């Protein structure tokens, strides 16, 4: 009778679910499932705890989110998914860029991890970071790991990491090994030769022809090349980057 009472009570709670955070059941996000087995003249009742749909959905969401590392980027941008139609309808002016992002996601799902990444250039507030978070989230659903790094804060934090070689190595290793890497707002950081050559150079050299790297910037590639060729210590130097352009619009796409 206790089992039957528990089943009825929890079934009623689930019917009028107040949400996972206020779940009144004994085991949050679970309800009692009753099974009956007959053997000869005896009938036995068994109960077991079963996860509800909302709990399963939250677990799946956390699994997706757990595949993405955020360095100094607001994690709310990575906390939920959007449909492709929502993305397209959000701002018609960036439709070309959005279509290329969606095409990249579909191609990766069909063919596996790509070697080329993307370069999104556009003015402040055009949604470059949002689109990269969307790409990471969508591909995390398919099991790919990702990391997004806000470059201005990353450059500043590296100064303190220099005093902690172990933390520095761990951070660089994460950025080397993750399936998808985004450098957000590149060109806005306070550049120095050590960051350019020993951190960025090491990461990009390791990932080249292995895993895709993505960039967002307020600069086009000519301006970014100047940024990376100049340092306050060494003066003007040639930056040996290679890029090819495909597409147009407020957010241009580049293969790196």
Q: What is the pLDDT of residues 106-115, one digit of tens each?
A: 999 999 999 8
Q: Can you give the chain as a three-state secondary structure string?
A: CHHHHHHHHHHHHHHCCCCHHHCCCCCCCEEEEEEEEEECCEEEEEEEEEECHHHHHHHHHHHHHHCEEEECCCHHHHCCCCCHHHHHHHCHHHHHHHHHHHHHHHHHHHHCCCCCCCEEECCCCCCHHHHHHHHHHHHHCCCCCEEEEEHHHHHHHHHHHCCCHHHHHHHHHHHHHCCEEEEECCCCCCCCHHHHHHHHHHHHHHHCCCCCEEEEECCCHHHHHHHHHEECCCEECCCCCCCEEECCCCCEEEEC
Model pTM above 0.85: no
pLDDT band at 145 (very low <50, low <70, confident <90, very high): very high
pLDDT digits (tens, 9 = 90+) for 25-51: 888 888 888 887 887 777 777 778 888
Which residue did the predictor score with more confidence, 6 or 107?
107
Compute the C-alpha angle 97/186/119, nearest 5°: 30
| Residue pair 151/184 in contact by the 8 Å Cβ criterion | yes
d(CA 37, CA 46): 8
Q: What is the mean pLDDT of the chain?
A: 80
Half-sphere exposure (Cβ direction) of 213: Cα atoms closer than 13 Å: 20
**pLDDT at site 240:** 40
pLDDT digits (tens, 9 = 90+) for 197-253: 888 888 989 998 889 999 999 888 888 887 777 654 443 444 344 333 333 333 434
Neighbours of 256 (CB within 10 A): 19
Mean pLDDT of 143-164: 87
d(CA 79, CA 56): 16
| Residue pair 250/123 in contact by the 8 Å Cβ criterion | yes
| Residue pair 234/193 in contact by the 8 Å Cβ criterion | yes
pLDDT digits (tens, 9 = 90+) for 9-25: 888 888 888 888 889 88
d(CA 171, CA 165): 10
d(CA 154, CA 92): 32
**pLDDT at site 43:** 78
Query: Which residues have CB under 8 Å from 82's CB, separation 6+?
Result: 134
* Conformational region of residue 239, where left means phi above 0, alpha means psi within -120 to 50, and beta covers everything else: beta
């Amino acid at each position: 009778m206790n089992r039957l009472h528990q089943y009825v009570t929890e079934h009623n709670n689930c019917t009028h679910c107040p949400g996972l955070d206020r779940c009144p059941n004994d085991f949050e996000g679970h309800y009692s499932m009753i099974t009956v087995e007959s053997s000869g003249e005896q009938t036995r009742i068994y109960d077991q705890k079963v996860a509800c749909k909302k709990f399963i959905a939250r677990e799946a969401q956390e699994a997706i989110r757990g595949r993405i590392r955020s360095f100094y980027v607001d994690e709310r941008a990575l906390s939920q998914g959007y449909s492709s139609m929502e993305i397209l309808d959000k701002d018609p002016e960036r439709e070309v860029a959005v279509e290329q992002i969606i095409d990249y996601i579909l191609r990766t799902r069909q063919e596996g991890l790509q070697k080329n990444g993307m370069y999104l250039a556009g003015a402040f507030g055009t949604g470059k970071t949002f689109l990269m978070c969307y790409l990471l989230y969508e591909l995390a659903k398919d099991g790919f790991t990702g990391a997004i790094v806000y470059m201005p804060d990353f450059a500043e934090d590296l100064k303190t990491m220099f005093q902690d070689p172990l933390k520095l190595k761990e951070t660089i290793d994460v950025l080397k090994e993750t399936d998808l890497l985004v450098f957000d707002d590149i060109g806005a950081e306070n550049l120095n030769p050590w960051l350019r050559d020993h951190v960025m150079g090491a990461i990009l050299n390791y990932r080249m022809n292995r895993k895709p790297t993505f960039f967002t910037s307020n600069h086009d590639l000519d301006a970014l090349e100047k940024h990376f060729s100049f340092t306050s210590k060494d003066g003007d130097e040639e930056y040996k980057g290679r890029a090819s352009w495909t597409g147009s619009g407020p957010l241009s796409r580049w293969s790196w």
